[in-house]
Chain A
């Protein structure tokens, strides 16, 4: 998986400049020879090839490919979150299309470009047979041959990139963001929508693009959201308060927590989810990308218990002053364990 996308990245970043240079040469040839050849049928075919190449240039392939690679690599977590969040936007919301839809359009264009190239080449080969305009026809044949190979290879790479990104956008994941020494974990929940998978099939002399639509199961979505909580608690390593501070206020909090733990054994999960709202308050900008449902659940739980978020805020302030690089979370399981040991 890793080596595969690295190969694709290296290949496609080397091919796109080549495609641009070939496109420049073709436009120059068309410009120079337009007066002499413009009525002939082979030149009309060439103009169609040029039109398709201009469309492809306006699609801005470099930007789309770099967006896909950011999502797959994950070396810039904020941009990855931004791009994955943009996928949740409704399709054709307003005027902007998200990058996956633009990539799908580019793939369709690449699949349709091969046929005019082959027709133009067959018309120019008639010139070859008659040995008319040999310099012009040799140059155009060499140009079209390179264009055909480049277009088909870019189509294959774009299709595999599209499939990688769509499989990533379906699965839920947690992304770690480090900013000024503070580590924050953001969770990405997929939308239960239909998603598209692309496939290329070779027919006689070119690749044909096939699009398949799939549906995500609602049951598996519910199970995933249930399993997410347990996975999340196991991933993050929390530190207890006693290791940082030795104030008398903590004893009072210990007594309160002990009473609550005795009353409700399920309340521990609620405390964990309550602390997550504290983390969301620290970085307000990232809260836009989270689910509305989860934020509503957090708000309801926090409204039920008014006293606890105040204490968590004060504790975070104290921690930041003493040790700025530590994680800004406190788990209550460790507290109960420490109390049992003592």
Chain B
């Protein structure tokens, strides 16, 4: 008399469709306008209309950017050129390090001029303020304790 019972159907959950690859932002927001307005009113009540970010939650946002750090190093090098001893040290360091491009090198040489007076070279002869330019266009000679351009006339 006992008959076999029917198998109970298992509840199978269908696989959800994959999320859309692109979202039209305006349509997406407009279709949820009512929910957005109610959410906005709730948040406004919570925050008391104060939307400033808290200072303890601010983070440094330029840690990943390495260029600024390198610029800081460059600025430090420029300060070394004022004193004669520092000049010699920087010269030695430049020889050991990779060579700078020539235009950059001449720019540094030009910036090394003092505001007043003369700059002395290695063998204690004085240089004019325009020494860098003249050295580029003229033959230089040492007369009367100065490093002077030589004119052919």
CB interface residues, A 25-40, toward B, < 8 Å? 25, 27-28, 39-40
- A146 interface hit (Cβ, 8 Å): yes
Tell me if B87 is interfacial: C-beta within 8 Å of chain A: no
Flag the segment in B12-20, B75-83, B107-115, B145-153 that touches A. B12-20
Residue A180 CB within 8 A of the other chain: yes
From A20, A126, A180, A205, contact of B42 by CB (8 A): A205
List B contacts of A121 (CB < 8 A): 39, 43
Q: Mostly helix, strand, loop or mixed at chain B's interface?
A: loop
What residues of A have a CB within 8 angstroms of the CB of B11 in the complex? 62-63, 66
B25 partner residues in chain A, CB cutoff 8 A: 135, 138-139
* Interface status of B57 (Cβ within 8 A of chain A): yes
A128: B residues at CB distance < 8 A: 51
Say if the beta carbon of B62 comes within 8 Å of chain A.
Answer: no
* A residues near B40, Cβ cutoff 8 Å: 125
Any B CB within 8 A of the CB of A130: yes
**Which A residue sits closest to B43, measured CB to CB?**
A122
Majority SS at the chain A contact face: helix
CA distance A137 to B85 in the complex (A): 57
Q: Is the CB of B96 closer than 8 A to any CB of chain A?
A: no
| B16 engages A205 (CB within 8 Å) | no
Interface flags, A134-158, vs B, CB<8A=1, else 0: 0100110111111011000000000
For A283, list chain B residues within 8 Å (CB).
2
Q: Does B52 contact A (CB under 8 A)?
A: yes
Residue among A17, A128, A146, A283 having the largest count of chain B Cβ atoms under 10 Å: A146
* Chain A residues, CB < 8 A from B32: 142-143, 145-146
Q: Does B38 contact A (CB under 8 A)?
A: yes
Q: Mark B4-27, 1 if CB is under 8 A from A, else 0.
A: 010010010100111110010100
How many of A's residues come within 8 Å of B, CB to CB?
A: 45
Tell yes or no: B65 within 8 A of A by CB. Answer: no
User: At the interface, yes or no: A327 with Cβ under 8 Å from chain B?
Assistant: no
* In the complex with contacts A122-B46, A125-B47, A129-B51, A24-B13 CB distance below 8 A: no
| B95 within 8 Å of A (CB atoms) | no
> Does B67 lie at the interface of the complex (its beta carbon under 8 Å from any beta carbon of A)?
no
Q: Smallest Cβ distance from A90 to chain B, in angstroms?
A: 23
Given contacts A39-B59, A205-B45, contact A24 B19 (CB under 8 A): yes
Query: Is residue A118 contacting chain B, with contact meaning CB distance below 8 A?
Result: yes
Interface residues of A in 279-302 (CB under 8 A from B): 281-285
Measured CB to CB, the closest approach of chain B to A27, in angstroms, equals 7
B115 to chain A, nearest CB (A): 46
B66 proximal to A (CB < 8 A): no
Measured between beta carbons, the chain A residues less than 8 angstroms from B35 are 142, 145-146, 148-149
| Given contacts A25-B19, A41-B57, A126-B52, A145 and B47 within 8 Å (CB-CB) | no
> CA A293 – CA B81 in complex, angstroms?
104
Please tell me if the beta carbons of A25 and B43 are within 8 angstroms of each other in the complex.
no
Given A138-B25, A142-B29, A205-B45, are A17 and B16 neighbors across the interface (CB < 8 Å)?
Answer: yes
Q: Is the CB of B39 within 8 A of A145?
A: yes
How many Å lie between the Cα of A281 and that of B29 in the bound state?
64
Contact B42 A138 (CB under 8 A): no
In whole angstroms, how far apart are the Cα atoms of A135 and B35 in the complex?
A: 18
Closest to A205 in B: B42
| A21, B16: Cβ atoms closer than 8 Å | yes
Task: Tell me if B16 and A20 are in contact (CB < 8 A).
Answer: yes
The one of A41, A60, A145, A179 in contact with B36, judged by C-beta atoms closer than 8 angstroms, is A145
Q: List 5 A-B contacts (CB under 8 A).
A: A21-B16, A78-B5, A82-B8, A138-B25, A205-B42
Q: A24-B16, A148-B35, A282-B2 are in contact. List 15 more A-B contacts (CB 8 A).
A: A20-B16, A62-B11, A78-B8, A126-B52, A126-B53, A129-B51, A129-B52, A138-B29, A139-B28, A141-B36, A144-B39, A146-B32, A146-B35, A149-B38, A285-B5
